[in-house]
Structure 1
């Protein structure tokens, strides 16, 4: 399947659930203590520079970043998600864009986060996506990547009562770390955790990497 076809499926699926996604997920940082701590580390690493939220959804993480002293820019494949994000988080900037072709200049960002966005990429797209993330980071910029742990692919054709067509790829942390290294990053920290009570029951992995 071409990336245009696959990304079109993902885009249409997230367009379909944008408002409900915001209602259900938009307040999740209130109970995600560990995520807030990791995002705080990213903010400190950015040292006042701009931070990209890559695959920002309804913009709640981007908004949190903007509230904590950095210029925050959210990028999402779904125009409906970006519209919700712009409405709810006017203190941040939002752009429609693809992880393989980010709408950003070389070295524009001091740091970036990609929280559960690479899970919608095919295996062959991960390395080029990480290379593209490296392109938009300044030298020594940090990147935080989060994903579900495992090797399965879950396909949804219905999501909260909406018809969708989207795959969720569970990932092996060693494989992701290797791809980040190949793309020009040095992985500096690794973390795994179980689900919070309000989350889907999957184990989560986080990798913090620094652009070489």
Structure 2
């Protein structure tokens, strides 16, 4: 039986820090040029494929969801934290935001044209990443796109007690090696089309790994990487 008890700590922690998080986190328009370019490329790819809407999983206060919508993508947000979802609804009343977990998405099979997991899977214990990536594969339409971005490492397990201005948190974070993330995405049936590794430097203290992937159009016909 899958142990999802860690979700309670993630939910409670982000409910606690939601307002401070929204004050401190950068708006997408203020991101570095490379991050903006990758988000724009993902949005264009989804629009071109035309397979359905994009779910921004772990959407937080909804800023990246709104950014995608501004790029012409039908997007909606899902977050484990009710406080985050409420902030998103207040800030972007024209978009849909719901409370939910990426471990069990309340979405039909083959429904999504895209999934964005933007700095949102690092609280998932590594042994449960196959559950999350399996949900991504299940809910993506054939030919649907995935963008996964976040901090990577060499398997570090972080247990912070404070975050976002000293507010108490009980979540844990895992810095999965990029090669392992790639292996798990492929094991879930997703085809990686591009991978970007940004070493620590200005603006980040950790390696950032970004993956673009897609669900094959047919289980019998492998996709050819686009880049």
Structure 1 match to 2:182: 177
Matches within 5 A, 1:114-193: 114-150=117-153, 151-159=155-163, 160-193=165-198
The structure where helix makes up a greater share of residues is 1
What's the TM-score once normalised by structure 1's chain length?
Answer: 0.93
What's the TM-score once normalised by structure 2's chain length?
Answer: 0.87
Instruction: Name the CA distance, whole Å, in 2 between partners of 1:32 and 1:125.
Output: 31
Structure 1 match to 2:199: 194
Matches within 5 A, 1:1-212: 3-47=3-47, 49-150=52-153, 151-159=155-163, 160-195=165-200, 197=202, 199-212=203-216
Instruction: Name the CA distance, whole Å, in 1 between partners of 2:28 and 2:37.
Output: 14
Alpha-carbon offset, residue 28 of structure 1: 4.8
Q: Structure 1: which 5+ residue stretches go unaligned?
A: none
Are 1:77 and 1:96, in contact at CA under 8 Å, matched by a contact in 2? Answer: yes
Secondary structure of 2:206's match?
coil
Q: Structure 2: which 5+ residue stretches go unaligned?
A: 217-227
Are 1:56 and 1:76, in contact at CA under 8 Å, matched by a contact in 2? Answer: yes
Are 1:32 and 1:196, in contact at CA under 8 Å, matched by a contact in 2? Answer: no
